[in-house]
Amino acid sequence: MRVAIIGGGAAGMMAAWSITQNHPSANVTLFEKNNNLGAKVIISGGGRCNLTTGIEHVSDVLKNYPRGAKFLKHAVYSMPPKDVRMFFENLGVPTKCENDLRVFPVSNNGHDVVDAFVDYFNSTNVNVSLGTQIDNVDYKNGQFLLSKKSVQLGSFDKLIITTGGQAYRHTGSTGDGYSFAESLGHTVTKLGPSLNSFVLKEKFLTEISGLSLKNVTLKARCIDSKRHELSGPILFTHKGLTGPVVFALSAFLAFSEISVDNPLRFHIDLIADLSIHDLNQSWQGFLQTSPKKHFKHFLYLYLPKSLIDLLDSEFNFKINLPSDSLDNKTVLKVLENLKNFELSIVGRGKGDEFVTAGGINRSEIDAKTMQSKIVPGLYFAGEIMDVDGVTGGFNLQASWACGNLAGRLL
């Protein structure tokens, strides 16, 4: 049996490994357009490679996929996060789980992950064809014919397409697989950027560029009118907001029409750790012990001075008045503003998207095998499908799991 895999990213490498385990006699060729495997794997997680998540229960893992959670169920149960970690341990890449439940190689080096696959392929019958840009895929008489610049590269009994989406185009993820899939009768859903930063309308916030907050809650409605609330760290930039919780929210807003003329309003809870009731109780205690201290000194207990001073200059929070000169209604109004501060998104960070939302229509793929329902012997895995997760190792988790399943060639 001759098997071709187009795309040497996470899903493609895992699919190749899986074939060697399930079909040892198969002749496997892994085609990669770059001169090395796993370009996007290497740079993921800031170069540290966020392999998977430390969340153990698959039902909880699946909650982190805005699109494709149900579709992924069988694949992730077949290779859950704990099995992904064990896989890499056995491949010679020890892993660690950090406090935020992100899993990395102990070495903090994405190259180690890819090198482990390369070493494995060198010891098996996997033929890795680097620098090979597939231009055309045909299906005739039960065979897949691959060609490069009109030169046929061979015919194959099975084909696995794992070319990724079109995010991070400099790594080779340029959407080639979509045209291959369409030529074979598949449809591609609407595509959109995911896991990107936000450009905000409120330009005054650029004055605190570089300021980070450890835990805020972002609240927004996406185009299906569903309300999303996500909590985590943020970083103010010279254009707007970035950070893990921003990336996560952007995944749910991937297909929302956003522009300067059509801003998307959302709310941010700047003091997510405490309720209004808790803050009011704290304020009452502060008022009793420090009645002559200015109101700003109470607010400084919970938020950076630069942020409070900036908001005061914009909205006149009256923070430079003695605490005992303010009535409770005024204080509560300020606290409520900080707990439900409205901002407007007018754009997405250019080139920041890590993942493409949308892809090969899931209804055309058998979720239990990753095989096409249209062309027998054709399989898909990874970001090329209409499946994507939030930040935190979920996209690589999906790629490993689906690549493993596709490589079984069921």
Same domain, 165 and 217: no
Same domain, 36 and 135: yes
Question: Which tens digits make up the pLDDT trace of 7-44?
Answer: 999 999 999 999 999 999 999 999 999 999 999 999 98
Same domain, 148 and 260: no
Q: Which of 307, 325, 352 is the last residue of a domain?
A: 352
Tokens of 148: 């490069």
Q: Rounded to the nearest 5 degrees, what angle is found at the Cα of 149, between the Cα atoms of 145 and 152?
A: 30
Spatial contact of 234 and 242, defined as CB atoms under 8 Å apart = yes
Q: Which domain holds residue 307?
A: 196-352
Same domain, 220 and 333: yes
Q: Which of 310, 336, 352 is the last residue of a domain?
A: 352
Query: For the chain, what's the residue count?
Result: 410
Question: Which tens digits make up the pLDDT trace of 98-152?
Answer: 998 999 999 999 999 999 999 999 999 899 999 999 999 999 999 999 998 878 8
Please give the full DSSP string across 182-212, using - where no structure is assigned: HHTT--B---EEES--EEES-GGGGGGTT-E
Question: Mean pLDDT, to the nearest integer, of 185-197?
Answer: 91
Considering the entire predicted model, what is its pTM? 0.87
Same domain, 188 and 219: no
Spatial contact of 270 and 303, defined as CB atoms under 8 Å apart = yes
Alpha-carbon torsion, ordered 32, 38, 44, 48, to 10 deg: -160
Same domain, 333 and 362: no
Domain count, the chain: 2
Distance from CA of residue 324 to its chain's centroid?
A: 48
Q: Which of 352, 369, 385 is the last residue of a domain?
A: 352
